[in-house]
Structure 1
């Protein structure tokens, strides 16, 4: 090989650019994570009409609820409350059945975490209480308790959403649970639902 050919070969080896696969892989992963985070944030900010609640007749919605912590009593606009300021300690809502009324301020904190709270007037007709209790025992992020002062035999409540029913066997019970357990619009879906207040 001539001297000029050797020089050209050395220049080609020295000037040949390596493809930076490590950098490409790193920035691809960062991009995928960013797109996922943006998509998740968008999904969480979508209005409730994007979830299954809009298709359930009779659901009442209350947007713009406060979320401050307080250890004092809170005057809520609805009974049971649909959200608002609440106690720093949530009510355990990991498929919990309570036989006494709950303190609203603790139960509201559970709603903030994505729980559905089923309340009933004492003396619920037929086997209604048994049916509701069985649903709660089979569904995490739910709780059930009596509520003597409510104006319907059965009320299902999620953060900012409520459904009042006359009959515990109403098919909308299942639809509401599907749409609202850790559902869209919940401020802290999937936050802890156990390890806090375990008594009524």
Structure 2
């Protein structure tokens, strides 16, 4: 092969290499932007879920909230600011709240400890119609971290209390019952999420 032919072949070979280099897929760049996109997607999804959770609770009409509640253990009686109480100092033993229905009034100080663990306490005024009682019992027995009991001094037919949150309603069919349970059973307001709801006080 002549020198000119060899030079021509070399030029053609270089041209092919340059063409391959220019058309090579930039996998590193694609991977980088894919990871960035996934991170952004997860962050947006998390923010959306958080906003939905917040909206669920804030949309409950008549919801009463109270923050900065005491959490000390006491042995005596506590003079609570609300009736029923929705938090504050309490007995060292919680009332068992594993979907428990009690037929007699509970001691406030034990029930409040259950609220600290994430329970919702449904109370009702004695004399509530049997069909309403049955409806409430069904919700409680089917939901862990709930308890239910009569409350003689209640100024409404029914009250639902969680730590720092409370609503009072007239009828067990009120859709706010389910909304309250969804929002506050082991909800974000819980001071001790995951703490036990069994193994303590099992009687009124």
TM-score band w.r.t. shorter chain: 0.7 to 0.9
Query: Normalised by the size of structure 2, how large is the TM-score?
Result: 0.73
Match of 1:78 in 2: 82
Task: Select 2:164's aligned residue among 160, 163, 174.
Answer: 160
In the alignment, structure 1 segments of 5+ residues that lack a partner are 1-42
Query: 3-state SS of the aligned residue for 1:133?
Result: helix
Structure 1 ranges of 4+ moved more than 4 A: none
Task: Select 2:95's aligned residue among 91, 95, 102.
Answer: 91
Say if 2:62 is the partner of 1:61.
no
Task: Select 1:130's aligned residue among 129, 134, 137.
Answer: 134
Cα distance change on mapping 1:197 and 1:129 into 2, 3 Å: same
Higher helix share: 2
The aligned runs of 1:94-105 (5 Å cut-off) are: 94-105=98-109
In the alignment, structure 2 segments of 5+ residues that lack a partner are 1-46
Query: 3-state SS of the aligned residue for 1:108?
Result: helix
Cα displacement (A) at 1:174: 0.4
- Alignment root-mean-square deviation, CA: 1.9
Say if 2:148 is the partner of 1:144.
yes
| Partners of 1:52 and 1:160 in 2: CA distance | 16
Task: Select 1:118's aligned residue among 118, 122, 127.
Answer: 122
Cα displacement (A) at 1:53: 1.5
Figure out how many residues of one structure are paired with residues of the other and give that number.
Answer: 156
Query: 3-state SS of the aligned residue for 1:127?
Result: helix
Larger radius of gyration between Structure 1 and Structure 2: 2
